[in-house]
Structure 1
Amino acid sequence: MKQILSLILISLIPVLLSARNAEVVSPNTKIRIELLNTNNDKTGEWYLKVYFENNKQTSEIIPKIELGISRSDQDFHKNLKLLKISRPKQIEEDYITKHGKRSHRNNSANEVVVSFENPDKTRLNLIIRAYNDGMAFRYQFPENEGNFAIKDELTSYIIPDSTERWLQKFDLSNEKLFDHMNSSDIQGNWGYPALFHSPDRSCWYLVHEADLDRNYCATKLSNLKDKKSYKVTLPAPHEGEGEALPKISLPWESPWRVIIMGELSDIVESTLVEDVSTASVIEDTDWIKPGLVSWNYWSDNHGTRDYQTVKKFTDLAARMDWPYTLFDWEWDAMGNGGDVEDAAKYAISKGIKPLIWYNSGMFKWITATPIDRMKTHENRMEEFAWLKGLGFAGVKVDFFLSEKQYMINYYLDILKDAAKFEMMVNFHGSLVPRGWARTYPHLMTMEAVRGAEWYNNNPELTTTAPKHNTILPFTRNVVGSMDYTPVTFTNSQHPHITSYGHELALGVVFESAFQHMADRPDGYDNLPDAAKLFLRELPAAWDDTKLIDGYPGKDVIIARRKGAGWYLGGINAEAHQNKNKTLNFNFLPEGQKYKLTLITDGEYDTELSTSYLVVDKNSEIDVKMLRRGGFAASLKPVQ
C-alpha cells in the first residue's frame, strides 16, 4: 500500500511524518487532496490526487498531478525527501473589488506547506490550498539569496481518457475557438483555461494559473509527449523575442496552479483566480470606474482617422448614457475637421470620457500607429501626462504576442506607470487574465478571445459564433474580464447570423469592466425603446453573478445583480432548432416582488418582442429562443 501523508487542515493537531491516510480538505469538505509518494517512502517522486464529493458520493477526479521543477543548477523531482509538514493554517479573506462578477468577495481555504529537500540538501516547499470552489498549489524556494533560471516545470495533470474536455489550441493571441473532445486522442499545445468534465459526470473542473508576477513567465498546457498528461509548459524559444527560460531570484514562489472545481454553476460563479492573487497595490481606487464604451473600429476599421466619425460615436455614447468612447488606431492621423485634441475636447464637452489606443511597439512588423509611445518608461510618463491633461480616462494597448518573462514585465510596467496618472488599462493581443485585476484594479479588461472583431477578418465567425458564444461563459470569461466587443445588430465585413435577442443578451452573458459596444450608431438608434433603455441602464460591474442554466456549446442563461436590480441574458447555440426554457427566479430574495422587463426574439431573427410582468422568488415563466437566438431581461424591485 502506498504511503499517504496526512495534511488534515480542519484539525488543530500537527500532522506527523508517520501519519497515514492523510488529506487536505476544503472547508465545505467537498474537495479532498492527497499527497502521495511513488516509492511508498519518504523519498522519491511526489504527486497529488484529487477527489470530489457530490450527493454524498466521492469520486476520484484527477488521479495524478505530477510535481517537480528543474532549476539551472539542480533538479527538484525524482529524489525529493520529505522534511516536514506545517501546522494546518486556515485562510480567510474578505475583500471588495471595483469590478468583475462579484463586488464583495469572501473566501476560505485550508493550507499546508510541505517541505522537501533534494539530494544536494536544497529546500523546496509545496504550498497546497483547498478552497470550497477548487484547489491551488505553488512551489517555493525559501532560501534568501541566489539567482537562477528555471529550465522546466514538471507539473502535469493526468486526465482520464474518457474525460470530456473543451480546449483551445495555443496561439500567442489566445484567439482560437475551443474544441470539444471526448478523449485525449488529439495532442498539441493548449491555452488556458482548460475545461474538463469527469467521466462519471459528478464534477467539472477548470485548469488555469494565477498570481503571475515578474519572477516567472506565463505557461500553457501540452500533451505532445503523453496524450493523457497535460504538462505545464514554458514558452518555446521561437514564441516571440527574448529569452524563453525565466530568471528567478530567491526567495521565490511560482504562480499558483489553480483548479476551479464543482458543478457548472461553481465554475461560472467562481472568483478563485483573483482570490488567490496578490491583494490590490492601489490605495485610492475612486478613479476606477467601469462602464460601457462606444467603439467605431468594428463598423469602420479606419474610423478614428475621421474626426466626423469620432464625433458620431461620441454623440452615440452621450445619447445612450454610456460614460466612454474609444479612439482606436490611427488617431494620430485624424483629419476631416479636427485632430485628436479636438476630438478629446468634443467628448469632454458632451460629458463623455475618451479612451485611446496604442501599439505596444514590441514588434517591427506590426506598423499600426501610433507605434512606440508605450514602449519605455520615459515615453509612457510623457504620454500619460499629455493624456491626463486632455481628459483621457484610459488606454488600450495592443499587440503583446508573447508570454515570456520580458513581456510579463512589460505588462506590469504599463500598469504601474498608468496608475500614477490614474489611467485605466485594457490589454489587447494579450495573454489570458492571471488574476492581475485584483492586484491592479485599474486593469479593466483583456482581449484574449475570438471576439466580434473577427467578423472583420474572415467569414468563419459567422457560422461558429452561436456555439462559441455559449462556450465562453464556462471557459475564458470565468477567469477574468473579456473584451469580446459584443452587442451588434448590423453587420461588419462578414455578417452575423445570431438573432437580435442573442446579441442583446451578450451584454449580460459576457462580463467586462469596459464593455465595448461595437455596433454603428444606427444599430442602436433603430432598436425598440425597451432594448435601448436596457442598454442605457446596463452596468459593466456586478455585485453578484448566478448561472441559471446552460451547457457549453448548447445554451447558457446568466443572471447578474447590480444593487437591488438584476439583469438576465440567455443565448441558444442551436443552428436549426428553436428552444423553450422555463425561467425560475429562485435566486431572488424572499418576500420581494420585481417588475420584469423581458425582451425576447420575435417571429424572426431581426425582431424583438417585449413583455412586462411582476414576479417573485416563486415565479416561473416560459421563454422561447429562436435558433441562434436569445433573450435579455431586467428585474427592478417593486416599491
Structure 2
Amino acid sequence: MRQLVLVMLFSAFSSMVFGQKAVVQSPDQKIVVGLFPGQSNDIGEWYIKASYNNNGTIIEAIPRIDLGLSRSDQDFSKDLKFLKAGKPIFINEEYTALHGKRAACKNAANEVVVSFENPTKAKLNIIIRAYNDGLAFRYEFPDKQGSFVVKDELTAYTIPKETTRWMEKWNPANEGLYAAMNKDKTVSGEWGYPALFSTDNKDCWFLLHESDVNRNYCGTKLSNAAAAEKYKLTFPNPQDGRGLGESAPVITLPWKSPWRVIIMGTLADIVGSTLVNDVAEPSVIKNTSWIKPGIASWNYWSSNHGTKDYKTVCVFADLAAEMGWPYTLLDWEWDAMGNGGKLEDAAKYIQSKGIKPLIWYNSGGNHTWVTATPKDRMLTHQNRVEEFSMLKKLGFAGVKVDFFESEKQDMIKYYLDILEDAAQFEMMVYFHGCIVPRGWERTYPNLMTYEAVRGAEWYNNTPDFTMPAPEHNATLPFTRNVVGPMDYTPVTFTNSQYPHITSYGHELALSVLFESGMQHLADRPEGYYELPDAAKTFLKNVPNAWDDTRLVDGYPGKEVIMARRKGNDWYIGGINGEQNEKKKTVKFDFLREGVKYKLTLIADGKHDKAFATQYMVVDKSASVDVTLLRRGGFAASLIPIK
C-alpha cells in the first residue's frame, strides 16, 4: 500500500520534476519543495517551488520563490553553479513551551542542503526543510572567515493574482489594519509580516513570515513595489529609528540567515502551527522556574496618567487581587508618582495584596522621538544592570520596554541584549512599539509578549478604530497572533476616549481568542466588578498559557471560533466580525472520548451589553447552537465532571 501511495505521489508531482535539481517532502508527504534552475543549464539563477497535496489534489501554492544574495564583495544570485544536493536528513526535536498556543511542541522536518558556488568559487548553501505544516529555508555562507555587508537579499515570492491575501501596510510599530486583496484589487507597496494567503483551492492556505532573526542580520519586510505579483524581501528603510543605524546588515563568516518561514495547509493548520518557534534556537535559559505567565491589570487604558497617581495604582492592585490575577502594571510616569506614595510605596502595597508588580520603560536613545520618562535606563548594559538590580530589590517581576521604531541590525541587537540582561536578574520582558515575533520567545522564554498590533489602546488614540475593530479582531487570530504572543490589551466593557461597538460577548471571547504570555486586561475596575457572576468568574479562571489550540470554525475578518485547552479544561471563544447576526453550531468533537464535561456558555443576550448564560452537560458527540449578534461573540468553559 505504501508503495502504491508513493507511485501515486510520484505521478502527481511529475509535472514539477522536469528540470528539478532537488526535492524535499514533508514527513506526511503533503508538502513538496522543489529546486529549479531559471535557465536550461546548471549555472545561473535559481528558485524553489512549493506545492501542497490535498488528498491527492496537487496545488501549486507558490509557483516561484527567487533565491540569492548580493554581498559587498561579490554576487550570489545571477551566476550560481549547482554543485550538489545532500541526502535528506530527518530533523526530530521535542521541546516544551512555557507559554503560547501549545506546551508540547515538535520540530520535525525533512531537510536537504543544496550547495552552490559563484564564478569566484565562493560557496553558498541553501538549507531547505519541509514540515507537515509548512516549509522553511535559509542561506548559509560556509567559509570560515571574512566580514561583509549584505547589500540585498533577492528572496522574492511570486503570488498569482487570483490568490486572496490579507496584508498590513508596513509601519515601524506594526500597528496597522489588515486589508483583504486579490486580482485587480491587489495594491503595491511595502508590507509587514505575517502575510496570509488563500489559494484558489480553499483547502490550501499559506502564511509568510521569518524566524530566528539574530544579531547577525536585520528584520525584513515584503515589497511588491516593482511588480504587483512578486513580494521581495526588503531591508529596513534608512529613515527608520530617526535615521540611526545602517539598513544593510554586516555579517561575519561562517554565517546563516534567518529562516524564511511559510506555514501551509488548511486554515486550521495555520492557526494551530508553532512553526515560527519550532525553527528558532532552543532556550538559552537553563532555570526557567521563575518565568510565570499570567494576567495583569492595567490602568493606562482607562486613565492615561493613572500611574502618576498612587491611589489609582492601589485600586488596580486591588482589582488584580480581587480577580485572582497575579500581576499589575505600572505604566509611564511612575517616576512622577504622587497623591500619597512613590514607587517604593506602590511596590510594597502591591505585594501586600499578593500581587507582583510590572513596570514600563521608554527604550530611550535617539532612535525614538518619544520623550516620555523614564528614558535611557534600558539603553546600555550598565544602565540595565543598575535598573534590574533596583527592581529586583523592590520585588518587580518584569519590565515593559516601549518605542523601538526600527528593525535594523543594531536594534535587533538591542532587543536581544535586553532579554539576556533581564534573564540574569530573573526578570520577565515584553516589548511595545516593537517588532512582530520572530521566534525569540523559544530562545528567551522570559520574553512574554509583544505589542506589534493595533489593539484596544487605539480606542485612546483615534475615533477611526471604532468601526473597523470587529473585522480586525476576527482577522488577527489568522494573521498576527499565529506567529507569537500578542499584547492587544483586550476585554474592555466600558469605553475609553472613543467608544467600541463590539458586544460584551465579543469582548469576553477575546480573553480566549487572543494569546499573550502576559495578558493585560485593560478595563477599569468597575468594568469587571459590575459583570454578572458567570462572566466575572470566567475572567477569574481563564488561563493565558495553553496546552493545545484548535480552530473550530472561521474565516478571516468574518468570524472565528477557537478552542484552547489547559490541563483537562477547555475554553472556547467565538466572535462575529460582521454587521449581521449569525447562528453557529459548535461541535465538541475535540473533547476526550468517554468524558462528560460541564459546559458554561456565556453568549450574547438581547442586546450588545447583555449576556445569556447556559449550563449543561456535554460530551464529544454533543453540539450546541449559539446566536452571535452583529459584532457579537461568546465564551465558554468545559470542565470535566469527576
Structure-2 separation of matches of 1:312 and 1:161 = 53
Bigger Cα displacement from structure 2, 363-372 vs 167-176:
363-372
Quote how far apart the aligned CAs of 1:19 are: 9.3
**Match in the other structure for 2:419:** 415
Is 1:309 the counterpart of 2:309? The answer is no
1:284-433 mapped onto 2 (5 Å cutoff): 284-363=287-366, 365-433=369-437
Cα contact 1:157–1:229 (8 A) shared by 2 = yes
SS of the aligned residue for 2:461 comes to coil
Structure-1 separation of matches of 2:289 and 2:259 = 29
**Match in the other structure for 2:225:** 224
Cα contact 1:295–1:518 (8 A) shared by 2 = yes
1:59-208 mapped onto 2 (5 Å cutoff): 59-183=59-183, 185-208=186-209
**Match in the other structure for 1:627:** 630
Query: How high is the TM-score relative to the length of structure 2?
Result: 0.96
Supply the AA of the counterpart residue of 1:356. I
**Match in the other structure for 1:583:** 586
1:498-537 mapped onto 2 (5 Å cutoff): 498-537=502-541
Structure-2 separation of matches of 1:580 and 1:412 = 46
Structure-2 separation of matches of 1:550 and 1:322 = 30
1:440-451 mapped onto 2 (5 Å cutoff): 440-451=444-455
**Match in the other structure for 1:473:** 477
Cα contact 1:72–1:149 (8 A) shared by 2 = yes
Quote how far apart the aligned CAs of 1:239 are: 1.9
SS of the aligned residue for 1:157 comes to strand
Cα contact 2:21–2:36 (8 A) shared by 1 = no
Supply the AA of the counterpart residue of 1:317. A
SS of the aligned residue for 2:373 comes to coil
Quote how far apart the aligned CAs of 1:200 are: 3.0
**Match in the other structure for 1:283:** 286
Bigger Cα displacement from structure 2, 180-189 vs 318-327:
180-189
**Match in the other structure for 1:3:** none
Structure-1 separation of matches of 2:145 and 2:602 = 61
Supply the AA of the counterpart residue of 2:457. E
Distance 1:21 1:400, change over 3 A: closer
Quote how far apart the aligned CAs of 1:22 are: 4.9
The partner residue of 2:493 within 484, 489, 494 is 489
Structure-2 separation of matches of 1:174 and 1:22 = 36
Supply the AA of the counterpart residue of 2:582. K
Structure 1, residues 218-240: CA drift from partner, whole Å, max 9, x if none? 00000001111000001121122
Cα contact 1:178–1:471 (8 A) shared by 2 = yes
Supply the AA of the counterpart residue of 1:406. D
Cα contact 1:59–1:202 (8 A) shared by 2 = no
Structure 1, residues 30-85: CA drift from partner, whole Å, max 9, x if none? 10111000112111111001110112111111110000000000010011001111
Structure-1 separation of matches of 2:637 and 2:92 = 34
- Give the paired residue count: 624
The partner residue of 2:551 within 534, 547, 553 is 547
Bigger Cα displacement from structure 2, 531-540 vs 448-457:
531-540
Cα contact 1:38–1:44 (8 A) shared by 2 = yes
Q: RMSD of the alignment, in Å? A: 1.4
Distance 1:285 1:360, change over 3 A: same
**Match in the other structure for 1:14:** none
SS of the aligned residue for 2:105 comes to strand
Cα contact 1:219–1:232 (8 A) shared by 2 = yes
SS of the aligned residue for 1:348 comes to helix
SS of the aligned residue for 1:456 comes to helix
Structure-1 separation of matches of 2:432 and 2:237 = 21
SS of the aligned residue for 1:83 comes to strand
Quote how far apart the aligned CAs of 1:20 are: 5.8
Is 1:561 the counterpart of 2:565? The answer is yes
Structure-2 separation of matches of 1:18 and 1:46 = 14
Structure-2 separation of matches of 1:469 and 1:503 = 10
Supply the AA of the counterpart residue of 1:150. V
Cα contact 1:291–1:323 (8 A) shared by 2 = yes
Structure 1 runs of 4+ with >6 Å offset: none
Structure-1 separation of matches of 2:369 and 2:554 = 42
Structure 1, residues 422-450: CA drift from partner, whole Å, max 9, x if none? 00001000010000000000000000000
Quote how far apart the aligned CAs of 1:110 are: 0.3
Structure 1, residues 64-112: CA drift from partner, whole Å, max 9, x if none? 0000000000010011001111121101111111000000002310000
Quote how far apart the aligned CAs of 1:480 are: 0.2
1:219-298 mapped onto 2 (5 Å cutoff): 219-240=220-241, 241-298=244-301
Supply the AA of the counterpart residue of 2:595. Q
Supply the AA of the counterpart residue of 1:283. K
Structure 1, residues 467-512: CA drift from partner, whole Å, max 9, x if none? 0000000000000000000000000000000000000000000000
**Match in the other structure for 2:213:** 212
Bigger Cα displacement from structure 2, 292-301 vs 105-114:
105-114
Structure-2 separation of matches of 1:286 and 1:78 = 50
The partner residue of 1:616 within 601, 604, 619 is 619
Distance 1:39 1:55, change over 3 A: same
Structure-1 separation of matches of 2:520 and 2:213 = 26
Supply the AA of the counterpart residue of 1:47. Y
**Match in the other structure for 1:594:** 597
Cα contact 2:22–2:36 (8 A) shared by 1 = no
Cα contact 2:585–2:626 (8 A) shared by 1 = yes
Cα contact 1:96–1:103 (8 A) shared by 2 = yes
Supply the AA of the counterpart residue of 2:474. T
Query: How high is the TM-score relative to the length of structure 1?
Result: 0.96
Structure-2 separation of matches of 1:458 and 1:312 = 27
**Match in the other structure for 1:538:** 542
SS of the aligned residue for 1:135 comes to strand
Structure-2 separation of matches of 1:336 and 1:563 = 43
SS of the aligned residue for 2:240 comes to coil
Quote how far apart the aligned CAs of 1:540 are: 1.1
Supply the AA of the counterpart residue of 2:608. D
Cα contact 2:20–2:37 (8 A) shared by 1 = no
Structure-2 separation of matches of 1:197 and 1:584 = 25
Supply the AA of the counterpart residue of 1:194. A
Structure-2 separation of matches of 1:293 and 1:185 = 40
Supply the AA of the counterpart residue of 1:347. I
Quote how far apart the aligned CAs of 1:185 are: 3.3
Quote how far apart the aligned CAs of 1:21 are: 7.3
Distance 1:456 1:20, change over 3 A: closer
Structure-2 separation of matches of 1:564 and 1:165 = 36
Is 1:435 the counterpart of 2:436? The answer is no
